[in-house]
Structure 1
Amino acid sequence: MFMHNKRLQYTVRVSEPNPHLATMMLEQFGGADGELAAAMRYFTQGLGEDDAGRKDLLLDIATEELSHLEVIGSIVAMLNKGVKAQLSEAAKNEVELYRMIGASGSSAKGALLFGGGPALCDSAGVPWTAAYIDSRGEPTADLRSNIAAEARAKIVYERLIAITDDPGIKDALGFLMTREVAHQKSFEKALYAIENNFPTGKLPAIEKYANIYVNTSQGEGDMEGPWNSGDQWQRIDDLAETMPIDGGDGTATVGLDSDDTKVAAQLAARTMSDPTSDPRTGVDLGAGPGAGLTSDGDQGGAADIDDAVAMADKMTVK
């Protein structure tokens, strides 16, 4: 059961309206790393949790995230107070109202339909979606995801703090940013309270593959460090000699019954290409200056981008 306390968890003091800043604040209202997404992520995890300690933790933080949603929503509403009143009362002429909406950085939909109130969307106007929730029902995976979510939210708050000089807003955002740090610490403790929490899940890793580092991006910029070198790692640099890594032939096969084998052979025969052919194509028929080599021979091409511009200018109809 929920009960709403009319006092905010943290006092909101906004010096003056600023619809453009309100739009930016929506990122933490209905955005992917915002407070609504956090609340829904932790609520759904908590409701499905069997461990009493983690269930209590998740529902505590989920409920607090709703109070943070209220703080952010209140900031958005206060920042939009002026434009809401002007639009509602038609206190300005048409040109001034158009200019006000355009200068705010908010969409006409946000200004007209939501009347200056916080909409469940991000700063680009993208509606909130449950697709933001990435829970898997496995605490060792979900807690790591929660830790990352809190870290991402902290970074967004840092950037919002950087774009406002309003001391009251800075103060409130600093509180919300700090709560992300506290939640991250709680999730870390909960994760490491689980014995053998890595790797995630129940099944152990296959030992012969668990310590291999595959150096697949090679050339200038190759680096060595504790993530790919040392006693912990068996590093593979010569991919041609070591792949396929399982020692097989590296092909994909499937067992088909006789009917499927016959139909598959018919399909392969019908769609077979002829590598010895050099068919005349639509490109050949429509080729003009600069098309490069075609079946009819070299049609020419530009030596560089300046040459291409010069050729285009010659072909332009005056």
Structure 2
Amino acid sequence: MFYHDGKLQYEVKVDKPNPQFAKMLQQAIGGIEGEMKVCLQYLFQAWNCRGPAKYRDMLLDTGTEEMAHIEMLATAVALNLEGASNELKDDIAAGSPFMEQVMGGANPRHILSSGMGAMAVDASGVPFNGSWVIGTGNIAADMYANVTAESAGRTLAARLWKATDDRGMKDMLSFLLARDTMHQNQWLAVLEELGGLEGNHPIPNTFPQADENKNFNYNFISTKIDSESKAKGRWSEGKSVDGKGEFTFDKAKPFGKEPNLGAPDPAGFAQKEQMSGGLKSKVKKIID
């Protein structure tokens, strides 16, 4: 069950409407780094959360807060579009400078589809994609996904902050940047509470390492074969980060055989040449 308040979480002001910036703000709403992703990600993780109730409550709190961020950004998009006429035909006929701006650099669907409002799309007009939402049922894996999401979101917010000279927009974005800072630390704090690097890893820590191939579990494999690889560092020597093994640096080499697939199923309608083994088989027979 959700409740709402008529007031925004933080003030949203626009000194001078800018339809191009409205288009850019759409990335922070419906883009892969945006607020719709983190909102739904945290909520689905909460709804599916098993274990201590505090993690479910925390995820619900933060997922609901992200709704407020969508609201703020949608308001910012609408304010940046204020002043553009809905009389599309009249504006085009009159050669409206604002219309030229919208059609020249911003999203025409802000006029055609949403009536000067935000949409559930990214800056290119691509609709939000629910497959971006990560909820594995493993709380440690989910926390790492959340750190990544907040890191990408804060990077986007920083770029948007840099892209505008509007004081109101900079102020709103500085608030969102601050909340991203908190959320990054929040998810990292959960990981620390769960046991840190050694306690959580390898994820899932419920799978017995005795059942994984110990010949390959802490080997860095270099696939650079033309010269000596420079990819050597903390990850290629010394004790593993989870404290359960030793890193090694190995050159890639095949341990399996060349795959040899059988003939196609006739019901699949492959070519005749494939049914008899194909050209490679015929050449081999000639050589033999």
Same fold flag (TM > 0.5)? yes
Worse overlay, 68-77 or 133-142: 133-142
Distance 1:137 1:73 in 2: 31
Shift of 1:77: 0.5
159 and 267 in structure 1: CA distance in 2 versus 1, 3 angstrom threshold: closer
Corresponding residue of 2:55: 54
TM-score between both structures, scaled by the size of structure 1: 0.74
- Distance in 2 separating the partners of 1:68 and 1:2: 15
- 1:24-35 alignment runs, 5 A limit: 24-35=24-35
Query: Which runs of 5 or more residues in structure 2 are unaligned?
Result: 240-245, 263-272
Q: What is the alpha-carbon distance in structure 2 between the residues aligned to residue 111 and residue 277 of structure 1?
A: 67
CA contact (8 A) 2:20 2:102 kept: no
Where do 5+ consecutive residues of structure 1 fail to align? 256-265, 279-318
* 1:234 equivalent in structure 2: 248
Which stretch shows the higher mean deviation, 169-178 or 128-137? Answer: 128-137
Moved over 6 A (4+): none
1:215 maps onto 2:216 in alignment: no
Paired with 1:223 and 1:99, the residues of 2 have a C-alpha distance of 51
User: Matches of 1:199 and 1:270 in 2, distance apart?
Assistant: 43
Please report the TM-score for the alignment, with normalisation by the length of structure 2.
0.81
Indicate the structure (1 or 2) with the bigger Cα radius of gyration.
1
For 1:276 and 1:141, the matched residues in 2 are separated by 49
2:208 corresponds to 1:204: yes
CA RMSD across the alignment: 2.6
- SS at structure 2 position matched to 1:208: coil
1:224 matched to 2:223 = no
The alpha-carbon distance between structure 1 residues 203 and 131, as it changes in their structure 2 partners (threshold 3 A), is: same
Residue 271 (structure 1) aligned with residue 278 (structure 2): yes
2:188 aligns to what? 188
Letter in structure 2 aligned against 1:9: Q
1:81 corresponding residue in structure 2: 82
- Residues 100 and 209 of structure 1: is their aligned pair in 2 closer, same or farther, counting only changes over 3 Å? closer
Partner of 2:268: none
2:10 is equivalent to residue 6 of structure 1:
no
Q: Aligned letter for 2:207? A: L
Rounded Cα–Cα distance in structure 2 between residues aligned with 1:277 and 1:267: 15
User: Which amino acid in the other structure matches residue 247 of structure 2?
Assistant: W
Which segment is superposed worse, 108-117 or 147-156? 108-117
How many angstroms does 1:234 deviate by? 2.0
Amino acid at match of 2:4: H
Contact (CA 8 Å) 2:30, 2:127: kept in 1 or not?
A: yes
Matching residue of 2:140: 140
Aligned 8 A contact 1:120 1:127 in 2: yes
C-alpha distance in 1 between matches for 2:155 and 2:274: 54
Amino acid of the residue matched to residue 80 of structure 2? L
Identity of aligned residues (%): 27
Distance 2:88 2:219 in 1: 68
Q: Distance in 2 between matches of 1:93 and 1:267?
A: 60
Paired residues of 1:154 and 1:180 also in contact (CA < 8 A) = yes
Q: Following the alignment from structure 2 to structure 1, what is the Cα–Cα distance between the partners of residues 203 and 19?
A: 44
Q: In the alignment, does 2:11 pair up with 1:44?
A: no
Q: How many matched pairs?
A: 258
Q: Which residue of structure 1 lines up, in the alignment, with residue 177 of structure 2? A: 177
Q: For structure 1, which segment, 218-227 or 65-74, has the greater mean C-alpha deviation from structure 2 after superposition?
A: 218-227
Shift of 1:269: 2.6
The CA deviation at 1:125 is 0.3
For residues 127-166 of structure 1, the aligned pairs below 5 Å read 127-166=127-166
- 1:163 is aligned with what amino acid? A
The answer (yes or no) to whether the contact 1:18–1:104 under 8 Å persists in 2 is no
Offset, 1:209 = 2.1
CA distance in 2, matches of 1:251, 1:270: 15
